[in-house]
Structure 1
Amino acid sequence: MSTGLRTARTARSWSQERLVREIEQYARRHVTDVASTGSLRVYVSEWENGKRAISDRYATILRRLLGITDTELRSSPPKTISTPATADGYDELLNRIDAAGSVSESVVKTFNDQTELLRTMDRQMGSAGLVDQMQGHLAALEDTLNFAVLPTARRPVALALAGASTLAAWQAIDSGAIERAWRHYELAKRAARDAEAPMYLAHAMAEQAYVLCAAGRPALGVELVRDAQRTLADAGSPRLRAWLHATEAELCAHAGMPDDCRRALEAAEAIIPATPEDRDPDMLSIFLNASHLTRWRGNVLALLGDDEALTSLYGALEVMDSTFIRAQAGLYSDLAQAHLARAEYDEANSHLRQARLLANRTGSVRYRRRIEQLSARL
């Protein structure tokens, strides 16, 4: 039985009929052949009930549509063909060690460039269609690190792996794959420790707190963020420290800690750099400037039901980068929540419609769930 297919389908609130339509639309966009509508209906039912194995061709389509890995899609991992070891494995081992030891700066730059490309595609189009690419990217990085012996070879690869793993984890959160997200964050933390990089470690720890929040343990998430701040101490850039305070504020809002929440917001606003640049040169995963923080402040105040949320959110809407598609879905969701707190249902409904369009465009399970929760209050 393919419980993974059923779980991913229901996470998107798709019926089996909707999944059939999505498969057909994918086939038309990519000029590929699939079975007839009637046959696809039978296939989907049989896949989910264990009466038919998912072929590799359909598995590729389903992974891209649903944003899941092959292991998550199938009831058991696909079988692999093992190859016999030669010379008791020592020759192969030494070849791998030699190859990892000779990784040049240009190769590491290629790894980081690929992470950046995946980050840009995720920001503009969503993560659902990137699962295979991201899994392959992480596997290549982890494989290189596993066979790098000396610190001079390990550290740059470990840094690249830490950055890529946190991106993969955030994409997994957005796809509703919480266990995968947790494992990616654990990989990111191990890589950051290997690289002796407290900024990367603190970032991974704080983002991992969102998994705890989504699982219903926001107070534990607050403690994890604060532990990340202690881990960083004064070693991080002002932008990263502001990001950590803003993360703490958001988690405190979810945990019902309004006073702590406001103190954390004030701390973030006190140290955010005044320049318009949003990218942290020391931590490329961080996008944060005063405008972004204004939007974040509105999000947090909306969670608290504070009337000041609307001022921050509408101000952020005016300067929002149009390429941050998923972030726009979040901003419109925040506006809807703020208007709901004021019983302004027409305005809330208007923003929810816009949020739903953008969330559907990126395939964001995380925002779709939030939109459904807010819609239930109308």
Structure 2
Amino acid sequence: MGDGDMTPLKRARLASGMTQGETRDKLKAARRRRDKMPPKDASLKRMYTDWEQGRVDPTDWRDELCEVFELPPVALGFVEVVPPPTLEIPSLLEISRLDPEIVEMLEVQTDHYRHMDRKVGSAIIPQTVAHVEHMQNLLRTSLPGQCSALAAVALAEGAALAGWQALDAGDIVKAWNMHDIAKSAAAQGDNPAVLAHVTAQQAYALLDAGRAADAVELVQFANRPDMAGRVPPRLRAWLAAAEAEFLAAAGHHYSALTMLDQAADALPSGDTDPELPYLMLNGTHLARWRGHCLARLGADEAVDDLTSALEGSQVLTSKRAETGLRVDLAFALRSRGDIEGSKQHAQRAADLAGRTGSARQRTRIAKLLAG
């Protein structure tokens, strides 16, 4: 069974570093704490094998499994992420135009998946993609108008989220295609800020494909000078930081540091802006980003920036963000010669990447541990 075909339960066990026998021992202990008698060892062994291989649903053992792996039910594949009530799509001939209530429901659904993504990562990719397809169908059968334009922007944000999830799961082609949908929708909605954001985010697919120079070209198109007055300050800071990351990956040390300074100058106070629901960027996040860029450049001061960012409580609200931060810190510590410290952060990152299904970070971790 390849990693892509692995059940969430098996993925969680491997990420925890436990053998099946160790897992069964902990399950029996958890069962006894609930004043329930566990089955005989041979029976539990057969049951657990069936659960891991997806042949049987561990209906009566879900609470114990969640306790042993310290994960929510959805991360173990037990509970499908239930979206808010979906909209009934009338037939083509019945549709005339979208209304504000429908647009609001679409935005609420996207925000729901955005928050779930921060908790469980790639586990909700099927639901997010289905949400994008639903919005596409609505737009195909709607008449032009203000609400149609707003729905197009909602589609752009949802498709960009699905694209980012696909990138994290290691599917570069799907990530690129989802961002293409996002760019077309943002253009249809005539929203320069969203268009700039999804275009720059698409460049990460190029970066992960090993095409750093092309990634720089794409992000610079999104962050070109004539866009300065068309996007809010927090997004300007994000675009500058993204450009710095791609420049660092391409080995442009001075230019990367210049863009990081621009990002710091543009960043307003606070964490988010109401007009940018898809963007969370504050001083702690920017410190993490700066450390990531410095780590790519092999700069010794990366360790200080990354350690400071790790101590910021806000970074820990996203397992994906913490994973990336610890991988960066592991690389920076290894460059400094602290092999033991590097391995500790790499192992913790590997555990987190297993829980969120982040193939992107597992690839980076494998390079670290092999070095």
Provide TM-score, normalisation by structure 1. Answer: 0.76
Amino acid at match of 1:8: G
Q: Which ranges of structure 2 fall in alignment gaps of 5 or more residues? A: 15-48, 63-73, 79-89
8 Å contact 2:103–2:147 — kept in the other structure?
no
Taking the aligned partners of 1:149 and 1:31, their CA distance within structure 2 comes to 50
Aligned residue number for residue 69 of structure 1: none
30 and 190 in structure 1: CA distance in 2 versus 1, 3 angstrom threshold: farther
Structure 1 position 266 matched with structure 2 position 265: no
Structure 1 contact 320–328 (Cα < 8 Å) conserved: no
Q: Secondary structure at the match of 1:307?
A: coil
- AA of the residue aligned to 1:234: G
- TM-score normalized with structure 2 length: 0.77
Q: 1:27-176 to 2 correspondence within 5 Å? A: 27-28=57-58, 92-95=91-94, 97-98=95-96, 101=97, 103-127=98-122, 129-176=123-170
The 3-state SS of whatever aligns with 1:181 is helix
Q: Which residue of 2 aligns with 1:323?
A: 317
Residue aligning to 1:256: 251
In structure 2, the residue matched to 1:178 is: 172
Q: 1:362 aligns with which of 353, 356, 361?
A: 356
Corresponding residue for residue 333 of structure 1: 327
2:67 alignment counterpart:
none
Separation in 2 of the partners of 1:31 and 1:142? 39
CA distance in 1, matches of 2:56, 2:267: 43
Aligned-residue offset at 1:212? 0.4
RMSD of aligned alpha carbons: 2.8
Look up the match of 2:298: 305
1:295 to 288, 292, 295: 288
Aligned pair count reads 310
Counterparts in 2 of 1:283 and 1:212: CA distance versus 1, 3 Å: same
| Deviations, residues 35-78 of structure 1 (Å, cap 9, x unaligned) | xxxxxxxxxxxxxxxxxxxxxxxxxx9xx69xxxxxxxxxxxxx
Matched residue type, 2:298? G
d(CA) in 2 for partners of 1:366 and 1:21? 27
Q: Which runs of 5+ in 1 are unaligned?
A: 33-60, 66-90
Tell me whether 1:193 sits opposite 2:187 in the alignment: yes
- CA drift at 1:92: 4.6
Which AA in structure 2 matches 1:27? D
Kept after mapping to 2: 8 A contact 1:158/1:191: yes
**Among the aligned pairs, what percent are the same residue?**
38
Relative to 1, partners in 2 of residues 1:105 and 1:310: Cα closer, same or farther, differing over 3 Å?
same
In structure 2, distance between residues paired with 1:331 and 1:21: 33
1:280 is paired with a residue whose SS is coil
**8 Å Cα contact 1:242-1:269 kept in structure 2:** yes
| 1:84 paired residue number | none
Taking a change above 3 Å as real, the CA distance of residues 312 and 181 of structure 1, as seen in their structure-2 partners, is same
* 1:240–1:280 contact (8 Å) kept in structure 2: no
Give the aligned partner of residue 241 of structure 1.
236
Deviation at 1:31, TM superposition (A): 7.3
Secondary structure of residue in 1 paired with 2:108: helix
**Counterpart position of 2:45:** none
Shift of 1:20: 7.7
Tell me: CA distance 1:219–1:25, structure 2 relative to 1, closer, same or farther (3 Å): farther
Give the equivalent residue in structure 2 for 1:8: 4
1:259-309 per-residue CA deviation (whole Å, 9 max, x = no partner) reads 111111111111111x2x212322211110111101110111011111111
Q: What CA distance in whole angstroms lies between the structure 1 residues aligned with 2:244 and 2:129?
A: 32
C-alpha distance 309-21 of structure 1, shift in aligned 2 (>3 A):
farther
Q: Residues 356 and 152 of structure 1: is their aligned pair in 2 closer, same or farther, counting only changes over 3 Å? A: same
Give the secondary-structure state (helix, strand or coil) at the position aligned to 1:285: coil
Q: Are residues 1:346 and 2:340 paired?
A: yes
Q: Is the 8 A contact 1:333 1:352 kept in 2?
A: yes
User: What displacement does 1:162 show?
Assistant: 0.6
Deviations 1:81-134 (A, max 9, x none): xxxxxxxxxx95321x32xx1x3222211111111111111111112x212211
The separation in 1 between residues aligned to 2:271 and 2:261, in whole angstroms, is: 19
Amino acid at match of 2:189: A
SS at match of 1:142: helix
Deviation at 1:26, TM superposition (A): 8.2
Q: CA deviation at 1:343?
A: 1.4
C-alpha deviations, 1:214-271, integer Å up to 9, x for none? 1111111001000001263321111100100100111111111111111111111111
Structure 1 residues 157, 31: CA separation in 2 closer, same or farther (over 3 Å shift)?
farther
Corresponding letter in the other structure for 1:358: L
- State the 1:179 CA deviation: 1.1
Q: CA deviation at 1:370?
A: 0.8
Distance 1:30 1:199, change over 3 A: farther
- Aligned partner of 1:374 in structure 2 is 368
The verdict on how the C-alpha distance between 1:207 and 1:195 changes in structure 2, with shifts beyond 3 A counting, is same
Higher relative contact order structure (alpha carbons within 8 Å, sequence separation ≥ 6): 2
How many angstroms does 1:30 deviate by? 8.4
Assess if the C-alpha contact under 8 Å between 2:51 and 2:58 holds in 1. Answer: no
d(CA) in 1 for partners of 2:265, 2:60: 50
Matches of 1:294 and 1:131 in 2, distance apart? 29
- Structure 2 equivalent of residue 36 of structure 1: none
Amino acid at match of 1:94: L
